[in-house]
Amino acid sequence: MGWLRRITPVALVALLSVSLPSILLAQAPAPAPVLVAELMDASTENVHIKLTWTDSAGETSYLIYRTQDETQLADFPAAWSLVDTVGTGTTVFHDYSVEPYNIVLNPKATYYYTVVARNVDGDTESNIDSATMPALDSGSGGSGGGGCFIDASGGSAGSSLGGGAILLLALLLSGLFRGRRIFRSCLTGH
């Protein structure tokens, strides 16, 4: 601490005049972005959620977070997933990675979002907004009803699972489905 005694009053004033303003002026982006989430193309296979928000001054990027767990909304960011990071001045994002409602694969079809404006001095969070995905029609549009059918009785395939429900459950439990896409195609027709 001997060096502190050697600082002259003139040097102290010069040091404070350079450092103090930069400390006092440093701030996170303001104002906080105002977020709106809306469902787009709801009746097509291109259904997605469009996010728009107001621009914040001084941001260098925006971080887009999403969750489906409404009980964890206050646990940000631990219970949220980072969807994407976009550059300064961006105020629109289309989320095509959302899944339509499905009683088995996606029973929680509501997606909650928040956008974080970021710069070197900190983060400013937007409000939380949500959009709910619809169930997509699994029919093929033809007279056969479309979809995926399993008939374990040896007869022709029908418009319901019937006796094949046990076979479907056995296949699902045994892990013979290679990922979610095969099972989803049976349930949604895609």
Nearest to 114 by CA among 33, 55, 58: 33
Mean pLDDT by 10 residues, the chain (190 residues): 59 52 68 92 86 95 96 93 96 94 89 96 95 73 39 42 47 45 46
**Which pLDDT belongs to residue 138?**
54
Would you say 61 and 88 are in contact if contact means Cβ atoms under 8 Å apart?
Answer: yes
What fold characterizes domain 35-132?
Answer: Immunoglobulin-like (2.60.40)
Q: Record the tokens describing residue 166, joined without a space.
A: 């046990």
The domains of the chain are located at 35-132, 137-190
Please report, for the chain, how many H helices and E strands are present, in that order. 4, 8
Beta-strand runs (E) in 44-167: 48-53, 61-67, 81-87, 92-95, 110-119, 122-125, 129-132
**Which pLDDT belongs to residue 10?**
57
**Which pLDDT belongs to residue 82?**
97
Longest dimension (CA), the chain: 98
**Which pLDDT belongs to residue 22?**
47
**Which pLDDT belongs to residue 4?**
53
- pTM higher than 0.85: no
Nearest to 55 by CA among 84, 28, 26, 90: 90
Distance, CA of 38 to CA of 15 (rounded, Å): 51
**Which pLDDT belongs to residue 142?**
37
Would the CA dihedral through 140, 50, 108, 174 be positive or negative?
positive
**Which pLDDT belongs to residue 117?**
96
